[in-house]
């Protein structure tokens, strides 16, 4: 029987297209399944329907088809054209093979990177990851030193090899179709049309598939699970290059300025900056040492006070009973550079902007205290050049930055440098030396141990079984060691200690923004009882740390920031930045704003997932105007070079 007279379905070019799609989508499915398993604790059997889990995976197939279509459209067009022309070229086939394999291999590496990235940030892979991965060598070391990251890398390599073998087999079986060209052409046009529909992702005329298409239920994890990280990366790249994202322009600048002046109670402009105000107290100022500890990933949800019964932070839980403790404090952003910048300089995070990469001057706590004779120092466990921290801080009134270069090489355990407790031990003689110069000091610490790659010294024995809980116990223990060692120093009683997180961790996520990722403890501890021990429940933020410290000290200073003194002032709302989303909170409501989407309003205190957007329209408008006004004023101050004024 002459096979050439018949339509060989198995080896037909259309079958080749279909087989490549199937192999690609199955590969993407494996990555999605692994992500699902790593975040399985986010599924509540009592609340989340099994049907929603299935729908999330089905939604994932839609996005996988989109990405597969983008990758395959050109090579498939070439394959079908060669078939129509009855050209059998090994060179052309090899080029098409390499093109398909290379792009899918890259896509699979992105998928592998997405899993630990999502575990850390509760967000699919985006251009923000490259701000996190500021130094390729730094990130490479972090990957090879953290077993979890290494597992995902091995998985990616294994799947890439498997994909190579299957793709090679598919190409070897591909044969020219015996169909007449008059039949082939319309069939192939239909095939390409179906591919374009797959790329568009939707039949609706108004809009192709969007990130928001994946959001179909009230479980934020399942909504994000359906996304493809290559899609979110492409989308975020396009958005980041959109003129609307740099710089922001979300409300009229004059209106924003008038609103913020009203919010801050400024009666008249005193400086060239619209919000700069001179602050002084009627009572006698004091000059104790100030130690600010910015704790890596220390979500309030890890503490017993906020419902965690796993005994992860016994020291912090005991310390807050001897301190001023603020229950409702939120970080400005979700990255460490946001936490450092906002804590020290009291400005909010602006979407995906990396403010510390702009060598600009700010009126922050370092400058304010330096004018009163303080020596200023910053301690980091790792490379001071990462995120441009050292250069930026040195440009903003820090006398010294202690980082990786200063520690003995034998004490450097991972790419994150030395363990937290070693950094604290290393700092004691340096602080003693500063104290000997008869001047008060400001010391800011940035811990790092509660971030992969995790390293627990052999001399610490955690009680927890899971590494993520063990490292929290170690981080808390390190803080205890620091206070105990400091208590033996002559400067201890004349020091105020402030503890705040750079950001939290997405332990739970009831909404599109994980509040656990932003809810931070804020503790002001004074061994000499310079502040009254109490718990404060009013809403506040990381950006309020600097003015609040200055309020405790009663020292005159210029507050050229959007922060307030939480011990003497109140704010209606606090703003949190989630890269492409903005959250606005008071003590009851959470408003989530995202460009191009309708805002959502929740009663977050009760973990209520009902959207109240249509029931509290005045409230929504007030919260939106507050957020837009503050963010626009921040942007305008940067643009107009108003972030620093001379006293």
Q: Residue 608 falls within a domain, yes or no? A: no
Q: Residue 255 falls within a domain, yes or no? A: no
- Across the strands, what pairs with 525? 497
Q: Which of 570, 595, 623 is the last residue of a domain?
A: 570
394 and 519 together in one domain:
yes
Q: Is 297 left (phi over 0), alpha (psi -120 to 50) or beta?
A: left
Distances in Å between the Cα of 363 and the Cα atoms of 128, 260, 273, 360 are 27, 18, 11, 10
Tens digits of per-residue pLDDT, 459-515? 999 999 999 999 999 999 999 999 999 999 999 999 999 999 999 999 998 999 999
462, 395 Cβ separation under 8 angstroms: no
Q: Which of 241, 271, 304 is the last residue of a domain?
A: 241
Q: Residue 149 falls within a domain, yes or no? A: yes
382, 135 Cβ separation under 8 angstroms: no
293, 497 Cβ separation under 8 angstroms: yes
Main-chain phi, psi angles of 433, to 5 degrees: -65, -40
| pLDDT score at 386 | 86
472 and 331 together in one domain:
yes
- DSSP state, 284? P
316, 303 Cβ separation under 8 angstroms: yes
312 and 192 together in one domain:
no
> By three-state DSSP, how is residue 359 classified?
coil
Of 453, 437, 566, the closest CA to residue 500 belongs to 566
299 and 225 together in one domain:
no
Spatial neighbors of 70 by CB under 8 A, at least 6 apart, are 199, 234
Strands 400-402 and 324-330: unpaired
Of 341, 444, 336, the closest CA to residue 392 belongs to 341
305 and 447 together in one domain:
yes
Cis peptide before 179 (omega within 30 of 0): no
> By three-state DSSP, how is residue 100 classified?
helix
222, 39 Cβ separation under 8 angstroms: no
Q: Residue 586 falls within a domain, yes or no? A: no
- DSSP state, 565? -
212 and 342 together in one domain:
no
Q: Which of 519, 554, 570 is the last residue of a domain?
A: 570
Strands 589-594 and 600-603: antiparallel
218 and 338 together in one domain:
no
Q: Provide the angle, in degrees to the nearest 10, between the axes of the packed helices 147-173 and 136-145.
A: 100
Tens digits of per-residue pLDDT, 295-322? 999 999 999 999 999 999 999 999 999 9
Strands (E), 198-335: 277-279, 289-295, 324-330
505, 297 Cβ separation under 8 angstroms: yes
Rounded to whole angstroms, the Cα distance separating 384 from 378 reads 10
- CA Rg, the chain, in Å? 28
Of 549, 545, 587, 521, the closest CA to residue 325 belongs to 521
Counting as low any pLDDT under 50, the low residues of the chain are 1-7
Q: Residue 87 falls within a domain, yes or no? A: yes
Of 217, 200, 216, 212, the closest CA to residue 239 belongs to 212
Distances in Å between the Cα of 260 and the Cα atoms of 1, 355, 597, 620, 634 are 84, 21, 25, 17, 10
pTM exceeding the 0.85 threshold for the entire prediction = yes
Q: Residue 502 falls within a domain, yes or no? A: yes
Main-chain phi, psi angles of 322, to 5 degrees: -110, 15
> Read out DSSP for 400-466?
EEE-GGGS-GGG--BTTBS-HHHHHHHHHHHHHHHHTTTS-EEEEEE--SSSSSP---TT---S-SS
Q: Residue 600 falls within a domain, yes or no? A: no
Q: How many other C-beta atoms lie within 10 A of the C-beta of residue 98?
A: 11
176 and 303 together in one domain:
no
Strands 375-380 and 441-446: parallel
283 and 371 together in one domain:
yes
Domain residue limits at 420: 279-570
566, 538 Cβ separation under 8 angstroms: yes
235 and 342 together in one domain:
no
In this structure, what CATH number is given to the domain that contains residue 508?
A: 3.40.720.10
Strands 581-585 and 574-577: antiparallel
235 and 284 together in one domain:
no
Q: What sign for the dihedral angle of Cα 269, 270, 271, 273?
A: negative
212, 48 Cβ separation under 8 angstroms: no
Rounded to whole angstroms, the Cα distance separating 316 from 302 reads 10
* Residue 248: both structure tokens together: 């922001």
Q: What domain count does the chain have?
A: 2
> By three-state DSSP, how is residue 321 classified?
helix
> By three-state DSSP, how is residue 527 classified?
coil
> By three-state DSSP, how is residue 375 classified?
strand
**Residue that the structure tokens 């990405």 belong to:** 67
Rounded to whole angstroms, the Cα distance separating 336 from 329 reads 16
216 and 353 together in one domain:
no
- DSSP state, 292? E
Q: Residue 263 falls within a domain, yes or no? A: no
576, 586 Cβ separation under 8 angstroms: no
């Amino acid at each position: 029987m002459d096979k050439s007279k018949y339509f060989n379905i198995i080896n037909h070019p259309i079958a080749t297209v279909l087989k490549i799609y199937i192999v690609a989508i199955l590969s993407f499915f494996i990555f999605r399944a692994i992500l699902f398993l790593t975040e399985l604790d986010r599924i509540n059997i009592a609340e989340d329907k099994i049907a929603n889990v299935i729908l999330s995976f089905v939604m994932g197939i839609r996005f996988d088809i989109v990405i597969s279509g983008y990758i395959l459209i050109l090579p498939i067009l070439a394959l079908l054209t060669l078939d129509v022309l009855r050209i059998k070229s090994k060179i052309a086939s090899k080029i098409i093979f390499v093109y398909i394999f290379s792009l899918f291999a890259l896509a699979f590496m992105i998928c592998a990177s997405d899993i630990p990235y999502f575990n850390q940030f509760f967000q699919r892979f985006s251009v923000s990851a490259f701000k996190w991965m500021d130094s390729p060598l730094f990130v490479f070391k972090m990957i090879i030193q953290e077993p979890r990251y290494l597992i995902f890398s091995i998985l990616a390599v294994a799947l890439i090899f498997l994909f190579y073998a299957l793709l090679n087999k598919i190409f070897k079986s591909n044969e020219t179709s015996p169909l007449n060209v008059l039949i082939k052409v319309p069939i192939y046009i239909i095939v390409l049309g179906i591919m374009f529909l797959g790329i568009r992702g939707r039949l609706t005329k108004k809009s192709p598939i969007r990130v928001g298409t994946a959001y179909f239920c009230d479980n934020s994890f399942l909504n994000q699970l359906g996304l493809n990280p290559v899609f979110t990366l492409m989308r975020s790249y396009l958005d980041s290059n959109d003129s609307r994202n740099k710089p922001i322009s979300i409300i009229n600048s004059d209106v924003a300025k008038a609103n913020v002046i009203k919010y801050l109670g400024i009666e008249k402009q005193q400086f060239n900056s619209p919000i700069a105000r001179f602050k002084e107290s009627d009572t006698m100022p004091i000059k104790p040492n100030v130690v600010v500890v910015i704790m890596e990933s220390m979500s309030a949800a890890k503490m017993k006070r906020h419902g965690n019964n796993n005994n992860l932070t016994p020291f912090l839980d005991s310390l807050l009973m001897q301190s001023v403790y603020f229950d409702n404090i939120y970080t400005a952003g979700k990255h460490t550079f946001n936490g450092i910048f906002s804590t020290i300089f009291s400005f909010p995070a602006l979407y995906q902007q990396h403010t510390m990469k702009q060598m600009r001057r700010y009126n922050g706590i370092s400058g304010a205290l330096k004018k009163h004779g303080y020596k200023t120092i910053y301690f980091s466990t790792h490379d001071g050049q990462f995120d441009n921290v050292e250069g930026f801080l040195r440009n903003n009134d820090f006398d010294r930055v202690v980082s990786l270069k200063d520690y003995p090489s034998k004490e450097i355990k991972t790419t994150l440098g030395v363990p937290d407790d070693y950094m604290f031990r290393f700092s004691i003689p340096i602080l003693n030396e500063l104290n000997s110069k008869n001047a008060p000091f400001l010391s800011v610490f940035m811990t790092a141990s509660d971030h992969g790659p995790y390293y627990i010294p052999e001399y610490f024995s955690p009680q927890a079984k899971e590494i993520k809980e063990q490292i929290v116990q170690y981080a808390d223990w390190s803080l205890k060691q620091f206070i105990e060692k400091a208590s033996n120093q002559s400067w201890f009683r004349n020091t105020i200690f402030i503890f705040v997180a750079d950001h939290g961790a997405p332990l739970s996520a009831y909404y599109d923004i994980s509040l656990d990722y932003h809810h931070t403890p804020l503790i002001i501890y004074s061994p000499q009882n310079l502040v009254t021990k109490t718990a404060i429940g009013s809403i506040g933020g990381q950006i309020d740390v600097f003015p609040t410290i200055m309020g405790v000290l009663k020292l005159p200073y210029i507050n050229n920031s959007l922060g307030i003194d939480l011990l003497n002032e109140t704010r209606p709302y606090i703003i949190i930045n989630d890269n492409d989303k903005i959250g606005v909170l008071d003590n009851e409501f959470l408003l989530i704003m995202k460009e191009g989407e309708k805002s959502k309003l929740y009663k977050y205190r009760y973990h209520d997932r009902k959207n109240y957007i249509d029931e509290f329209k005045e409230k929504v408008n007030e919260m939106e105007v507050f957020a837009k006004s503050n963010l626009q004023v921040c942007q305008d101050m940067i643009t107009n070079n108003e972030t620093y004024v001379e006293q």
